[in-house]
Structure 1
Amino acid sequence: MDFKGFPKEALLFLDSIRKNNNKEWFEVHRSEYEEYILNPSRAFVQEMGDHLMALEPTIDFEPKINKSLFRIYRDTRRMGANKAPLKSRIGIIFTQGSSGSRLQKSSFYLHFSPDELFVSAGVRWFEKPLLDAYREYIGDEERRVALDKLLKNIETKGYKTIEKGYKRYPRGFSPEMPSVDLSLYKGMAVYKILEPNLIENGDLLIETLYKIYEDMLPLQRVMYEISLRVKEE
């Protein structure tokens, strides 16, 4: 299944979800979801995954829901979750690492909506085991300073680091330590936001993403190393 790009109807369909966010509407339009979103997403995962293996041979991808693809239905059972049943943005993930939640693995990630194409690498938020492993890793001054330098280098190429999540330094870190602000992060990832219509040009999308992920690869590798430090509970 060759990836030709997402049809122009894909973004229009996601915009329609915003105006008709209910299960009844979706079931009537399920075939459009499959044609405009799901089937092209499967083809994209295979094509992009094959390219990413040139950057990182151990990257993991599978063009299935709950693997590289996410469900269109939102989990509304979680406290504080958005209660709209349908998602109006489509997420796709390529992970590295064999165990644990896919969102707690170092990954190449993207999502698209009528508003943006969001591209990132790393881990966007830490659960406690990975947070502990991250803080243990940056507890070493040499590693912490090297990571800070790495992030600054990536930022010079036009990317952004996600915002800090904490205001106080955690135990074991103090203001006089070099690059200590790295301890204030709840996740560690870099990202770039592109125009959403890029998804309609298959060759250009793959080419653009490959270059972005190549630039982000140094952080991807650090986060993978940190993920290997997670201790079994």
Structure 2
Amino acid sequence: MEFKGFSKKTLPFLESIRQNNNKEWFEAHRSEYEEFVLNPSRAFVEEFGEHLMALEPTINFSPKINKSLFRIYRDTRRMGAIKVPLKYRIGIIFWQGSGSRMQTSSFYLHFSPDELFVAVGVRWFEKPMLDAYREYIKDDARRDNLARILEMLESKGYKTIEKGYKRYPKGFNKEMSDAQLSLYKGMATYKILEPSLIVDGDLLIETLYKIYEEMLELQQIVYEISLRVKEDNNYARM
């Protein structure tokens, strides 16, 4: 299926999910979900995955649920989970490496009636990845280089995710250059765009490619850190 952009009805349909967030309504409108969301998402993954391989030849992508696509139903059983059953924010991920798609560096996006969110990195480190990240930035040169990349991205209008800690972890202190990098619970940069961009397939792909190209240095650093989880810390990968 050739990707020509999402339908003009896609965002209104997602708003309908937000306003009618129950399984009965969704099952009665499943064919619209497939037409306006699922099928074009699959086509987008195939099309844009081929483009991303020009930036990173080893990137992984697959137009399947629990691969590049996410389930429309939430797991409402988890403690602290949002209790409405359906997602009106549609996520798509292209990940690098053989580990968990959420714990190795990725090119990520989601769209909703409110925004088109575009990011690279890992937004929330699990402990093995957090340990590897902190070990990586203990090196002065690596830490300085990461700070330089984030500063460069911020100068281009990108944002870095918020810090997750207030106290320096063991091995870091305020006297170290760029010590604030140790306060992050993840490492990712992002940009928020108008969601209507998803309707124009060519413009969407062109815009995303340019953004990911500018974010590539950070993507590669976070991927290098993910490799250290496996090689240096010998943690089991999910």
1:211 aligned partner = 210
Aligned sequence identity (%): 76
Which AA in structure 2 matches 1:103? M
User: Following TM superposition, where does structure 1 have runs of at least 4 consecutive aligned residues deviating by more than 2 angstroms?
Assistant: none
2:234 aligned partner = 232
SS of alignment partner, residue 193 of structure 1: strand
The one-character-per-residue Cα deviations of 1:89-131 (angstroms, maximum 9, x if unpaired) are 00000000012x2110100000000000000001111000000
What CA distance in whole angstroms lies between the structure 1 residues aligned with 2:209 and 2:157? 15
What is the TM-score when the length of structure 1 is the normalising length? 0.99
What CA distance in whole angstroms lies between the structure 2 residues aligned with 1:177 and 1:157? 26
What is the TM-score when the length of structure 2 is the normalising length? 0.97
1:106 aligned partner = 105
Matched, 1:139 2:138: yes
SS of alignment partner, residue 21 of structure 2: coil
Which AA in structure 2 matches 1:51? H
What CA distance in whole angstroms lies between the structure 2 residues aligned with 1:105 and 1:140? 21
SS of alignment partner, residue 103 of structure 1: coil
1:186 aligned partner = 185
What CA distance in whole angstroms lies between the structure 2 residues aligned with 1:150 and 1:14? 35
The one-character-per-residue Cα deviations of 1:204-224 (angstroms, maximum 9, x if unpaired) are 000000000000000000000
Displacement of 1:232 after TM fit? Answer: 2.6
What CA distance in whole angstroms lies between the structure 2 residues aligned with 1:200 and 1:164? 34
SS of alignment partner, residue 156 of structure 2: coil
SS of alignment partner, residue 165 of structure 1: coil
Displacement of 1:146 after TM fit? Answer: 0.8
What CA distance in whole angstroms lies between the structure 2 residues aligned with 1:76 and 1:139? 38
2:121 aligned partner = 122
Which AA in structure 2 matches 1:48? F
SS of alignment partner, residue 113 of structure 2: coil
Which AA in structure 2 matches 1:219? L
2:60 aligned partner = 60
What CA distance in whole angstroms lies between the structure 2 residues aligned with 1:177 and 1:43? 47
Cα RMSD (Å) of the superposition? 0.6
What CA distance in whole angstroms lies between the structure 1 residues aligned with 2:170 and 2:50? 42
